[in-house]
Amino acid sequence: MNVKIKIPTSLKDITLRQYKKFLKIQDNEKDLNFLNAKMIEIFCNIELRNVMLLKVQDSNEITTILTDLFEEKPKLVTNFQIGKVKYGFHPQLDDLTLGEYIDLDTFIGDWDNIEKAMNVLYRPILAKIKDKYSIDEYKLGEEVKLLDMPMDAVISSVFFLWNLGIDLSKTMMNYLDKEETQALTQYLTSQPNGDGIAAFTASLKGTLQELKISLN
């Protein structure tokens, strides 16, 4: 029986939802052959029973292709579209509000909730003129809508923040008023094990390492 399969050719073809689904299986599955089969099933959108019909050589080639995709270092994806909605990367990171700032720090290294960090970084585009655009305001606690965003946007945004090499806590301190600065300081010192915005770049590094992206 011939099995038709569409193999992703870039991270753009894989969604955050798919990747998170695979991560959950990867964390609990020790059988490498079954894990590879699930990788093909999830990333190629094919039923597992059909994956089992593939020749061993073909399945090995496919898993190699899929694995290699996550060795990519995509340039920052500034916009993408989900359904009819176009999303744009936050054009002014130094204008983050305290709420955005804390949510970004809290969830950027948490793969169970990383889409919440993506909600801070990517917003619906309201207006666009050439390469300039304005984005919708951040709504605290809003329903997460970015699970179907492409993985090249997820990885490139994390990698961008790491390469940027800025300490966001210092940037924020420069323009927050006294009351907001006190609130931020209290947040930082209340985080267990030194977590929090002070450890933002360390969190990014850990995220990149989980994605097996080289930092060199």
- pLDDT tens over the chain, length 216 residues: 566 789 999 999 999 999 889 888 887 777 888 888 999 999 999 999 999 999 999 999 998 898 888 877 788 999 999 999 999 999 988 788 888 888 887 887 778 888 998 999 999 999 999 889 999 998 876 667 799 999 999 988 887 877 665 444 455 445 445 554 455 445 444 444 434 333 434 444 555 455 433 333
Amino acid symbol at 21: K
Amino acid symbol at 65: I
State the burial class of residue 153 (Cβ atoms within 10 Å of its Cβ: 0-12, 13-18, 19+). buried
pTM of the predicted protein model: 0.75
pLDDT of 203: 47
pLDDT of 211: 46
Query: Within a 13 Å sphere around the CA of 47, how many CA atoms are in the beta-carbon half?
Result: 4
pLDDT of 107: 82
How many angstroms separate the CA atoms of 186 and 181, rounded? 9
Residues 6+ apart with CB under 8 A from 104: 96, 117, 120, 121, 168
How many angstroms separate the CA atoms of 199 and 195, rounded? 6
